[in-house]
Amino acid sequence: MVSARVTRGAASWRFVGYLVRHAGEVQTAEDGPTDNKEAQQKGSVSMSELETAGRGALSADETAQLETCEATIKAGLQTFYEVGTALLTIREARLYRRDFATFEDYCRQRWHMVASRARQLIGAAQVVANIESVTTVTPENERQARELAAVAAGEQQTVWDFAVKAAPVVDDKPVITAQHIKKAAYTVALLKQHGWQGDVQPGRALLIDAEFHARTPDVPPWLFDSMAESMLRFGIINPLDVWGNTIVDGHVRYFIAMFYGLSFETMPRHFEQREDVLTFIRESHVHRKPYTLAELNKIYAETKDAGLLPFIQHAEEAQAREEGSVH
């Protein structure tokens, strides 16, 4: 498999210099990814026990393994993946025990690194190991991997695949930022809440911004069902408004399209900044609101608009279901 992570050896900084430049991250280590719980459960020894098990002699094979790992770290010519993998090997095999009692002592004295910073690198490396078997495009920097580490291990492959397919392409290469991955994780979670099974074809992956989505009115179940029924019958007529690859208006249409496999079109919108997008959303929805059954009946009594009858029927059915679930 040819990986897109071809720039691993291109970094020219020394590893210690790298740590100095990331001193802020080192001092705020609690905000980083925690250890992979599944990896912890594979062995009978917990990570805390591995890190504090005390000193002991190494065999010839272990000594060679330690030297190989430390060469990777010391060279400083590799990326977070190789460094994190080397640190993981040292920790799990307790290769530090010849000279140090704990993994924390080893990191601090050998590499001038707090153990929590090492765990960040290890966590990022574990993410890459988790997804590289199912993709030819893997994270190229630690920020990408750390954002993905915030996702449950079982969802990382789906979120990464979605992020890759939703990313803009420059010079035949997807441009994926940490913020992009965060949106992809949010989008995947919402789509799965609406019955999506996790498969997305290129060209259908759009991102949902949490703030933009929060500014759009909620759609009650009966109205969602009515919209789905209409779209299954007539298709999705109105295009989805997008800013780049992010949905600005049309979230419900997108949920329905992804669940039922319906085709849709997009309408690119041009904004200078996020505030302009929020203004557009507010103005687009100022005259839209989901109506209660009582409100629909009142409007129908005043207008006699037969077009309201399907909505009233759905609202009545939804209300009956809710009342039935209460009793």
Together in a domain, 214 and 110: no
Together in a domain, 300 and 269: no
Token pair recorded at residue 64: 């060679």
Together in a domain, 175 and 118: no
Residue 290 is predicted with a pLDDT of 61
- Dist. CA 103–CA 20, nearest whole Å: 20
Together in a domain, 237 and 309: no
Ramachandran region of residue 112, left (φ > 0), alpha (ψ -120 to 50) or beta? Answer: left
Task: For 213-235, write each residue's pLDDT tens digit.
Answer: 998 877 878 788 888 998 999 99
Give the best-scoring range by mean pLDDT among 43-57, 117-131, 308-322: 117-131
Residue 325 is predicted with a pLDDT of 66
162 within a domain of the structure (yes/no)? no
Domain endpoint, select from 116, 150, 184: 150
Q: Which domain holds residue 301?
A: 293-326
Task: For 187-210, write each residue's pLDDT tens digit.
Answer: 999 999 999 988 888 789 999 999
Together in a domain, 124 and 186: no
Together in a domain, 279 and 297: no
Together in a domain, 124 and 16: yes
Identify the residue with better confidence: 285 or 50.
Answer: 285
158 within a domain of the structure (yes/no)? no
- Dist. CA 33–CA 294, nearest whole Å: 49
Task: For 72-113, write each residue's pLDDT tens digit.
Answer: 776 654 578 889 999 999 999 999 999 999 999 999 999 999
- Dist. CA 188–CA 180, nearest whole Å: 12
3 within a domain of the structure (yes/no)? no
Together in a domain, 104 and 21: yes
Token pair recorded at residue 172: 């035949």
222 closest CA partner among 166, 290, 171: 290
- How many separate domains does the chain show? 3
What band does 150 get if pLDDT is binned at 50, 70 and 90? very high
Tell me the whole-structure pTM to 2 decimals: 0.66
- Dist. CA 51–CA 103, nearest whole Å: 4
Q: Is the dihedral of CA 44, 47, 53, 59 positive or negative?
A: positive
164 within a domain of the structure (yes/no)? no
111 within a domain of the structure (yes/no)? yes
159 within a domain of the structure (yes/no)? no
Together in a domain, 279 and 304: no
132 within a domain of the structure (yes/no)? yes
Place of tokens 């090997």: 89
Task: For 71-83, write each residue's pLDDT tens digit.
Answer: 877 665 457 888 9
189 within a domain of the structure (yes/no)? yes
Together in a domain, 85 and 135: yes
Instruction: Give the 3-state secondary structure of residue 208.
Output: strand
Please state, rounded to an integer, the average pLDDT across all residues of the chain.
80
What band does 55 get if pLDDT is binned at 50, 70 and 90? confident
